[in-house]
Copies of this chain bind each other. A is one copy, B any other.
Amino acid sequence: MRIGFIGLGNMGGPMARNLLKAGHELTVFDLSETAVAAAVKAGASKANSVAELASGDRELIITMLPAAQHVKGVYLGDNGLLASVAAGVHLIDSSTIDPMSAREVAKAAAEHGNPMLDAPVSGGTGGAEAGTLTFMVGGEPDEFEFARPVLETMGKNIVHCGPAGNGQVAKVANNMLLGISMIGAAEAMSLGVSLGMDPKVLAGVINTSSGRCWSTDTYNPYPGVIDGVPSSRGYTGGFGTDLMIKDLGLATEAAKSVRQPVVMGALAQQLYQGMSFEGHGDLDFSAIIKRYSSDQE
C-alpha cells in the first residue's frame, strides 16, 4: 500500500521500519532530519512538508505525534493535512491524546471526506521494534477492518473499541488503572517486606490471590522478583514516569470534561509528579516503590 507516515520519534521510527519490512511503499515526514534520513536509508521516500506528504498519491496516512496540540496542528492547521489531502484517503492517528481532541479531529476529517481512526498503542519502544504493539482503535467497523492488516504489521493485538475517540478512551482508562495498581503493588510489596516477608514469597502469594495484577505478576516493582523488568535493572528502560504523568493528566482532564470523579487516579498523578519533581521523571514508573521501600534507594 502507498502509505504516508508523519512523526518518526522513539515509537514512530520503528513502526515505520516495520511497515517497510512488510513491503509497503512509505513516504515519511518529520522535523528531525536525522530521523528522516534513517527512514530513507531503510527504504522510505521523504516529503518536505505535511502538505507535500498529504497532497501526494497516498492510500493511507499514519501520524504518531507527542500531544494533542501537535495532532491538531498537523491535521487542522492552515497548511495542514486536511487542507491538502484528497477526499477518500484513509487516516490513522496513533498518538496518545485526549478523547475530545481525537473526536474533534475525526469529525473534521469525516467532513472532509476522509475516514479516520484513532489508534493509540501500548507496548513501549520494545513493542514498537518487535512489532508486538497493542493498538486500541476507535472508528467505524469497516474502517477498522480496512486498517487491521496494516496495523498487524506493527502490532499483534488489534482491538476495536467502538466509534471515533474510543481508542483513546480505552488507553486512558487502562493506563489510569495501571498507574494506580502499580502504586498499590509498590505499597503492598513494601509493607509485606517491612513486616518480615520475603519479596518473592509475597509476590507468589499475591499472584495466586485476589491482589494479583499485571503490576505484580508481570512487572513487579520490587527488585529481584522478576527477571528482565525495569525493577531488576535499576528502573532504566521501560515506561518513563513522565509518560505515565502525561497519561494520568489525560485521564484526569477527560474525567473533568465529563464531571466524573477519579479520586485514586488523581492521587496517582500527584504521587508520580512528586517523584518527577524530585528528579526521577526519567526512571521507569515502577520506581515509585522507592518512596516506600528503603531497600531500593
Contact = CB atoms under 8 A, between A and B. Distances in A.
Nearest to A255: B191
Interface stretch (A6-14, A16-24, A105-113, A263-271): A263-271
A224 interface: no
B174 A191 contact: no
Interface in A86-140: 99, 122, 134, 136
Copies of this subunit: 4
Interface in A197-250: 197-198, 201-202, 204-206, 208-216, 218-219, 249
Given A192-B169, A195-B169, A196-B99, A187 B274 contact: no
Chain A interface bracket (under 10, 10 to 19, 20 to 34, 35 or more): 35 or more
Contacts of A268: 264
A180 B267 contact: no
A65 interface: no
Contact of A205 (B174, B195, B258, B269): B174
A204 B159 contact: yes
Given A213-B177, A214-B210, A170 B197 contact: yes
8 contacts: A161-B205, A170-B197, A177-B187, A177-B188, A183-B263, A184-B264, A213-B214, A263-B270
